[in-house]
Amino acid sequence: MAAHEAGGHARGVKENGTQRTSIPRLILVVLATLVLGAHFLRAGHALVALVIVLAPALLAFGTRWAAWTVKGMLLLGTLEWVRTLLELVDVRRALGLPYTRMAVILGSVALVTAVAALLIRVKPAFTEKPA
């Protein structure tokens, strides 16, 4: 018997129809925001860092806007990592310093940030109601 037929709910869907974020997904999102927040804190942008670190708490609302906000922030964070990567590669090249290891590390951080963004579930705007 399906969960809907038994009066239950589909896996990962709350009673109000919003998507639940699983613990492993949430851990990855939190780690990505902590690293991104540390990046901005190091650059002297404490308020930006605070907003980024607190952003995953929006997911507790379980709304589409909250999920899209966190997802968008992480996608922008991915672009920031790529920008930083390219800038540091240029600087290290100009100074004749090795840059491959740094590029691999920052590329990996950018990839993890992008994956964290893609793992955030956003419920469809319109869902078909059961008959």
Residue 10: inside a domain, yes or no? Answer: no
Place of tokens 């129809």: 17
Domain count, the chain: 1
In angstroms, the CA 122 to CA 29 distance is: 14
Residue 4: inside a domain, yes or no? Answer: no
Residue 48: inside a domain, yes or no? Answer: yes
Residue 127: inside a domain, yes or no? Answer: no
pLDDT at 130: 63
Residue 97: inside a domain, yes or no? Answer: yes
Structural domain range at position 97: 23-119
Long-range contacts of 122-130 (CB under 8 A, 24+ apart): 122/19, 122/64, 122/67, 122/68, 122/71, 123/13, 123/17, 123/18, 123/19, 123/64, 123/67, 125/64, 127/17, 130/4
pLDDT at 19: 53
pLDDT at 128: 62
Mean pLDDT score, 108-126 = 90
Mean pLDDT score, 56-62 = 92
What confidence tens digit (pLDDT) does each residue in 65-92 have? 999 999 999 999 999 999 999 999 999 9
